[in-house]
Amino acid sequence: MAVTKPLDIPMPKISPNFTIEDIHKIREWNYERRKGMTPDEICEDTRRGAAELEDLLAQPIDPLIVAEVERRMEEVRVSRKTLASAEY
């Protein structure tokens, strides 16, 4: 079976905070790219995208990025504890 190539539509710009608006942009982008594709073709397109993501996830992560993520996660934990212990 020949797979229809998704339309070459540039991916929308995503904000650094990843908002609900970004989700809407991505959904609309996927809809436009996949117009006219059969369900099997959409599944194949999804599998190709998943394979690309798996390749990205298999790459080593910069230790500085890991440290920054851990620092921010700790800030969130502290904020939550502070909010939970606050008397109203």
pLDDT of residue 87: 66
Amino acid 19: pLDDT: 93
Q: Give CA–CA dist 86/82, Å, rounded.
A: 6
- Domain contains 13: no
Count of structural domains within the chain: 1
Task: Please indicate, yes or no, if residue 9 is contained in any of the structural domains.
Answer: no
Backbone angles phi, psi at 49, to 5 degrees: -65, -40
Mean pLDDT in the chain? 87
Structure tokens at 54: 């798996």
User: Which domain range does residue 24 map to?
Assistant: 20-82
Report the alpha-carbon distance of residue 87 to residue 2 in Å, rounded: 64
Could you tell me if residue 33 is inside a domain? yes
The span from the CA of 28 to the CA of 24, in Å, is: 6
Q: Look at residue 6 and tell me if it is in a domain.
A: no
4 falls within a domain? no
* pLDDT, average across residues 38-42: 94
Residue type, 80: R
pLDDT of residue 27: 94
Structure-model confidence comparison of residues 85 and 86, the more confident one = 85
Is residue 7 one of the residues assigned to a domain? no
56: which 2 tokens? 């990205």
Mean pLDDT, residues 79-86: 79
